[in-house]
């Protein structure tokens, strides 16, 4: 065994003699000064086959095969006279094993088409089994990592978490019981996993997107399917990816792509003490909420009786039209007769969480363009979003701050700049709020650039 990063330092281990059966092999899975895990595949004197995980004690650099093993667990066995194992859906086959900190994890598959994956988790030093976890998995993750383990003192969870890595899913269970917590299901195959000890995981997919998700502060036990924020997009399918000097390398077929995070030269980073300048309560830069006013409240009640609008969280008369924002995430324009909805656009999908929103979570900013507003929704923690809406055309110009890299945090009407926040790094920066014409001109300039 060679020391990591130093091939000149090594330790030699010896096997105790043992009578040899059959013509298969012993595969060393992991070894330390006190214990050695081995996968033994062999035929015995009767010609019966077995595939076992065995843990031997190690003493004075010698693997003690003549002593009773600390662990001996059969993964697969069958008799030479019984051939039903070939087609049996219960056939189990060893696939992978690795040491993960204080634990040793063995992965096997079984089923007619290997649609089940089983994890066995052992205490590394004693070889005592801690838990056994079986999940549905048509195919498993092909890279070197088959699982991750997160300690509760690092993640602030109520339990230690075992994370099984499958082809298209991450399965979270309680480490000590094997009980399912929840699972993440991704749109395409997983091709790369990176992680931090505090429970932040980065998952790169074959569709070219990298997600960031967290398993911090899990409350209770629940079953869910979902995934986190997209933080990188290669804009094409990839077969492999890797980080390189703070950039990304993507591989597709026989081509290698280098992706660089370009700085936005039109944005400027600002200090936290200047943040309040862009979160001012000045009434001149924000539209108040007139939902309870004598003029608008009757209109809202009449439209609700007709079933045309949902519960209203914000309303105001801009120009000669009344505009409403509903709890269902829909933005409404009311006709001049105040009798029906003239146009509406959906800003976000209605969810169970929307039911807990209040009007205090909604801010509507005046912009330099009188026909446009910035509607800010800060109902979700670390996911403050805003929509730039053209009131004449009733269209969303663009959505701001819908991912983890930058959340909408304020606006300066005087400078026509948006305040963005990276809450992970606790940084703030300013970006110009482009008009459609400016964006078109800028996009054409970038497209025509040869450098």
pLDDT at 59: 92
**Nearest-5° Cα angle at 46, 41 to 52:** 20
Strand pairing category for 286-287 and 312-318: unpaired
Number of C-beta neighbours around residue 13 at 10 A: 15
Greater pLDDT, 322 or 404: 322
What residues contact residue 105 under an 8 Å CB cut-off, 6+ apart? Answer: 97, 98, 99, 119, 120, 121, 122, 146, 147, 149
Q: With 60 as the cut, is the pLDDT of residue 377 above it?
A: yes
Going from the C-alpha of 26 to that of each of 20, 160, 244, 335, the distances in angstroms are 10, 32, 37, 80
Q: Which residues contact 84 (CB under 8 A, 6 or more apart)?
A: none
Quick one: which of 113, 116, 112 has its CA closest to 88? 112
pLDDT score of 23:
47
More confident residue, 367 or 269: 367
Q: Is the pLDDT of residue 15 over 70?
A: yes
Q: What is the pLDDT of residues 400-415, one digit of tens each?
A: 875 556 788 889 888 8
Nearest to 170 by CA among 149, 198, 196: 149
**Helix, strand, coil shares, percent, the chain, to 5:** 10, 45, 40
- The confidence score (pLDDT) of residue 361 equals 81
Q: Say how far residue 2 (Cα) sits from the centre of its chain.
A: 35
Residue 162 has pLDDT above 90, yes or no: yes
Is pLDDT of 22 > 50? Answer: no
Contact 102, 175 (CB under 8 A): no
Please report, rounded to a whole number, the percentage of residues in the chain having pLDDT higher than 90.
Answer: 29
What does the radius of gyration of the chain's CA atoms come to, in whole angstroms? 30
Least confident of 15-24, 202-211, 409-418: 15-24
Q: What is the pTM of this model?
A: 0.59
pLDDT, tens digit, 9 for 90 and up, residues 69-93: 999 998 877 666 665 545 555 678 8
Q: How far apart are CA 172 and CA 162, in angstroms?
A: 6
pLDDT at 434 over 60: yes
How far is it, in rounded angstroms, from Cα 238 to Cα 243?
Answer: 14
Residue 281 pLDDT > 90? no
- Residue pLDDT, tens place only, 242-280: 877 767 788 888 888 887 665 566 778 888 777 877 876
Residue burial 249-284, b: 16+ Cβ < 10 Å; e: rest? ebebeeeeeebeeeeeeeeeebeeeeeeebeeeeee
């Amino acid at each position: 065994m060679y020391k990591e990063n130093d091939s000149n330092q090594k330790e030699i281990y010896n096997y105790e003699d043992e009578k040899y059966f059959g013509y298969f092999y012993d595969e060393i899975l992991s070894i330390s000064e006190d214990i050695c895990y081995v996968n033994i595949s062999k035929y015995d004197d009767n010609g019966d086959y077995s595939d076992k995980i065995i843990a031997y004690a190690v003493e004075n650099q010698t693997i003690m095969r003549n002593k009773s093993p600390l662990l001996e667990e059969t993964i697969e066995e069958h008799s030479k006279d019984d051939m039903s194992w070939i087609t049996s859906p219960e056939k189990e086959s060893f696939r992978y094993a690795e040491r993960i900190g204080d634990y040793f994890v063995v992965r096997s598959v079984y089923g007619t088409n290997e649609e089940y994956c089983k994890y066995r988790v052992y205490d590394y030093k004693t070889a005592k089994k801690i838990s056994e976890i079986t999940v549905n998995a048509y195919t498993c993750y092909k890279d070197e990592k088959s699982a991750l383990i997160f300690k509760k003192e690092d993640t602030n969870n109520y339990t230690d978490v075992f994370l099984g890595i499958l082809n298209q899913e991450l399965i979270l269970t309680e480490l000590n019981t094997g009980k399912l917590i929840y699972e993440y299901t991704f749109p395409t195959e997983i091709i790369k996993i990176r992680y931090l000890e505090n429970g932040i995981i980065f998952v790169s997919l074959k569709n070219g997107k990298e997600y960031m998700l967290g398993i911090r502060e899990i409350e209770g036990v629940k079953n869910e399917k979902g995934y986190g924020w997209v933080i990188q997009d290669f804009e094409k399918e990839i077969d492999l990816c890797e980080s390189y000097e703070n950039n990304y390398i993507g591989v597709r077929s026989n081509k290698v792509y280098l992706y660089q995070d370009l700085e936005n030269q039109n944005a400027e980073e600002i200090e936290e003490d200047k943040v309040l300048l862009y979160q001012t309560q000045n009434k001149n830069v924000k539209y108040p909420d007139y939902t309870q006013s004598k003029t608008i409240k009757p209109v809202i009640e009449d439209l609700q009786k007709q079933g045309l609008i949902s519960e209203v969280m914000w309303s105001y008369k801009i120009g000669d039209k009344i505009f409403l924002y509903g709890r269902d995430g829909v933005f409404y324009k009311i006709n001049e007769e105040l009798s029906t909805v003239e146009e509406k656009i959906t800003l976000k999908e209605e969810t169970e969480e929307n039911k807990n929103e209040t009007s205090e979570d909604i801010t509507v900013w005046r912009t330099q363009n009188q026909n446009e507003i910035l509607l800010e929704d800060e109902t979700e923690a670390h996911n403050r979003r805003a929509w730039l809406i053209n009131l004449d055309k009733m269209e969303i110009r663009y959505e701001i701050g819908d991912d983890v890299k930058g959340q909408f945090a304020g606006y300066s009407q005087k400078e026509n700049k948006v305040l963005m926040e990276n809450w992970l790094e606790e940084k703030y920066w300013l970006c110009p709020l482009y008009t459609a014409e400016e964006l078109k001109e800028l996009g054409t300039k970038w497209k025509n650039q040869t450098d």
